[in-house]
Amino acid sequence: MSSLETFFNGSIKTTDPEVYGIIKKEMTRMSEGLELIPSENVVSLAVIHALGSVFTNKYSEGYPGRRYYGGNEHVDEVEKLAIERAKKLFEVPHVNVQPYSGSPANMAVYLATCKPGDSVLGMNLPDGGHLTHGWKVNFSALFFKSVPYHVKSDGYIDIDEVRRLAHEHRPKLIWVGATAYVREFPFEELSKIADEVGAYLAADIAHISGLVIGGAHKSPAPYAHIITTTTHKTLRGPRGAMIMVTKKGLEKDPDLADKVDKAVFPGLQGGPHDHQTAAIAVALGEASKPEFREYAHQIVKNSRALGKSLMENGIKIVTDGTDNHMILIDLTPFGKGKGIFVQDALDLANITLNKNTIPADPSSAFYPSGARLGTPAVTTRGMKETEMRFIALCIAKIIKEVCAKYALPEEKSKLKEYLAKFREEIRSNSVVLEVKHDVIEFCKKYPLYRTLDY
């Protein structure tokens, strides 16, 4: 029995059977289902072990060699190891591994480069952008003058609009990155625009950092001044984040690395999560191996195969393809606002994705006309192009079934009652039940963790 098995079975199972039972149910849900949310993955047992290690006991305000508490010699070791591994993998001169998550990392970028009221440019959220890139209800629009750019009717970033808006508003900071953009990011073009107006270019590669490391997506390192990323998603690590300062960033401002570090601590955070840092180091170590490069390329192969199979089964996808780990389904051929029905029905069939806006969505963000899915987690489980055809067929069956039978009522007052009725009816839908059975049987061939007995 491994030490991790001993930890779960000998500790949680006996000391808190209630929590253990919930963990076991979640393990069953993951094992018997297809996880297609593109921001989720399946970490290794080594990452889990590091995340649950004794480093969770320590408090370590400050940076290696400059802590406010004693007893941090081993924390310094693991943090420096994570930093050096990240610097090597991303080919950057400076890395901060302390941000608690992606949004705090992006907040630190604002604090390091901008003053309240400065103009910032980022992709519009309904077009696929991120909340922290200037969406109206987020701090990034409340404290800064947010100027959104958009995608064209074909789903690609409108470079001409970005250039026009940049010259008109002279932003201090330009973001490139997204949560729902399926094509390769135009780092070089946006870098030129940032240089033209004297702006910092920050590349938020939270979704694609694993693809960048694996050579399956262009790196922003030669073009951006700052790079942020989460450490889960395609990087397949714990839920944390990193901020990197590039050679180009230090050439623009030699003090930029210090400004970033001070923005993280003491500007925004207290002590780092040392267990998270240890797990990031483990994930970066895994990402340095040749098999990770194969994994990154397989993610993209699977994504393209899944998109192609969906289209062959009569499902429209944004831009008619993908360059990365993600696919955006356009449900408007079936009507507007159908994303909620597709997400909920697929969930009951043990296929997990998320409803999502599409460019020029005719509905709202709460009831969007699209669905977002990706291949990192199923690729980790060993699935390849052939398996993507099975998954596409299952998804297409559900989409056609629910979109033919359900539509949002015109009167908002009837929406709650209508959705409740839909959710009750769909539980006994024969197509949903058939797909669920097929998915459970299919997943038995691809165990989540072969050695861990929950």
For residue 447, the tally of other CB atoms under 10 A from its CB is 12
Residue 230 catalytic?
yes
Residue 69 catalytic?
no
- Catalytically annotated residue among 5, 61, 118, 385: 61
- Dihedral (Cα; 434, 436, 439, 443), 10-degree rounding: -140
Residue 248 catalytic?
no
| SS3 category, 217 | coil
- Catalytically annotated residue among 204, 261, 286, 323: 204
Task: With CA atoms as reference, report the closest residue to 38 among 235, 228, 332, 203.
Answer: 235
Residue 204 catalytic?
yes
Q: Please give the angle made by the CA atoms of 353, 419 and 365, to the nearest 5 degrees.
A: 55
Contact 449, 43 (CB under 8 A): no
Question: Looking at beta carbons, which pairs linking 432-439 to residues 24 or more positions away fall under 8 Å?
Answer: 432/345, 432/348, 432/349, 432/398, 432/401, 433/349, 435/349, 435/351, 435/394, 435/397, 435/398, 436/348, 436/349, 436/350, 438/394, 439/32, 439/33, 439/34, 439/349, 439/350, 439/351, 439/394
Q: How many residues does the chain have?
A: 454
- Give me the phi and psi of 403, to 5 degrees please: -70, -25
- Catalytically annotated residue among 132, 230, 231, 322: 230
- Catalytically annotated residue among 13, 58, 239, 400: 239
- Catalytically annotated residue among 24, 40, 58, 59: 59
Catalytic center residues = 59, 61, 204, 230, 233, 239
